[in-house]
Amino acid sequence: MRQLDIYRTADEARFNRFHGSVLFWCALIIIFDGYDLAVAGIALPSIMQEMGVDATSAGFMVSSALFGMMFGAIFLGTIADRIGRRWAIAICILLFSVFTAAAGFTNDPVSFSITRFLAGLGIGGVMPNVVAQMTEFSPRRIRGTMVTLMFSGYSVGGMLAAVLGKGLIESHGWQSVFLAAGLPVLLIPVVLRVLPESMPFLIRKGRLDELKQVLARMEPSYRPQDTDRFALPEPDKGGDAPIGKLFQDGRAFSTLMFWVAFFMCLFMVYALSSWLAKLMASAGYSLGSALTFVLVLNFGAMVGAIGGGWLADRFQIKHVLVGMYALAAVSITLLGQPMPTALLFVVVALAGASTIGTQIVTYAYAGQFYPMAIRGTGIGWASGVGRSGAILAPILIGVLVSMALPLQQNFLAIAVPAVIATIAVAMIDQRRSASAVAAAGSDVARVQARERSAA
């Protein structure tokens, strides 16, 4: 009988076509997810004009999707640990594709808000699931890079929305950019066939033949045998109350700090995503120029996410995040100051790198912090709690915009959460993370092996 450690196999595997396939499909899903999320902010000036709503009402309309994302992240992130990650991802794609397209057929604020809420369930639910998927199937030495590279698709989706929005809205109306979002529903059969199922889930369900196939694709040197046995460490056996496991084994305080960081980060992300175009338009820029700022914001986010992931694989990810949140506080504050347009583009890119990019690295950190069996639950709850910040941001900034305050005060209100997030991440206990425990266990195993060899 051969006892196999699925963790070590995943950690030590060399990057191959299997890993590339998981990266490609997860990134593609996130691109569409990012498009669906950004499209409301891109179309917001046109929607406000056509529906005749003020800034405060528009803030509530945008927040309807974010409210749905809160429930989606918690429910669909948690349920994936019970029904399997592939089906949870497929359900999310169905929700955000169908109901984002449906929003394009609405002509009043109420029906628009309802369809965006339902789309938000899928938009919010898919994020923790693809992060958990990418974290589980990435080699440890490049895990941070792969997760953030995958999640940079979120920024690609935002840029796609900005590029399409500049042409489609002027020629076909704001509805066209929403209707285009229905295409990803065609991906569902492919996702169910191509993506591997979570390994702890397969073990708990007794689907060992399927698990052996996944391991053979992930590590080609593995040769399945009938006598192979797979065991889960105690933290990864799941159970009837996975939420409670987020607060066990010394993780309680760090879990709360993750929730604070997610709240503050998502506040900044959705404040900028929802209102940057409108704020720049009110500062005297044309609609085309204002949408260019959104494009630059998302380009900076992609660079920040990939760069942050690269740094996280070389330095402790916690320290990288502290620096990124501090940069967010500085860059967002500077957005409200008068400066040459070229320099403003640079500052907008830095703001994107240190907010949307930092959000992606924060997801990666949460994915590394929690054990496999509760990873979807841990990321889902952090993301779900954080959505309350995302819900609050468009409403609060909308109120500030309606008060016609100076531009500096609007951006200062977005920058304050960065300071709080910096403190929260600094207080997370890295020693309690699953990655640190696994690394310590590997070190002990190597020492014991050397001792046995010496004996």
Q: Are 138 and 435 in contact (CB under 8 A)?
A: no
Question: Residue 445 — very low, low, confident or very high, per pLDDT cuts 50/70/90?
Answer: very low
**What's the CATH number where 9 sits?**
1.20.1250.20
Residue 110: Cβ within 10 Å count: 10
Number of structural domains in the chain: 1
The yes-or-no verdict on residue 444 having pLDDT over 60 is no
Question: For residue 289, what pLDDT band results from cuts at 50, 70 and 90?
Answer: low
Percent of the chain at pLDDT > 70 equals 87
Q: What is the pLDDT of residue 23?
A: 92
Between CA 378 and CA 12 the distance in angstroms is 24
Please name which of 75, 11, 80, 23 lies closest in space to residue 373, comparing C-alpha atoms. 80
Give the structural domain span for 394: 2-454
Q: Name the residue among 436, 308, 420, 422 with its Cα closest to residue 364.
A: 308
pLDDT one-digit tens code per residue, 41-72: 777 777 777 787 777 777 777 778 878 887 88
DSSP codes, 248-315: STT-HHHHHHHHHHHHHHHHHHHHHHHHHHHHHHHTT--HHHHHHHHHHHHHHHHHHHHHHHHHHTTS
Per-residue pLDDT averaged across 213-238, rounded?
Answer: 71
Query: Alpha-carbon distance 383 to 74, whole Å?
Result: 7
- Please report the DSSP string for 141-155 in residue order: GGHHHHHHHHHTHHH
Residue linked to tokens 């760090």: 254
Average pLDDT over residues 309-333: 88
The pLDDT assigned to 143 comes to: 81
Does residue 447 carry a pLDDT above 50? Answer: no
Residue 108: HSE in the Cβ half-sphere, 13 Å Cα cutoff: 2
pTM given for the model: 0.71
d(CA 301, CA 278): 19
CB 345 within 8 A of CB 331: no
Q: ∠1-230-436 over CA atoms, to 5°?
A: 125
Q: Which residues contact 306 (CB under 8 A, 6 or more apart)?
A: 145, 148, 149, 152
Cα separation, 174 vs 177, whole angstroms: 6
Three-state DSSP state, 228: strand
Predicted pLDDT of residue 240: 46
- Convert the pLDDT of each residue in 347-368 to its tens digit: 889 988 898 888 888 888 887 8
| Residues 6 or more apart whose Cβ sits within 8 Å of residue 349 | 296, 297, 299, 300, 303
Among 289-298, 413-422, 429-438, the least confident range = 429-438
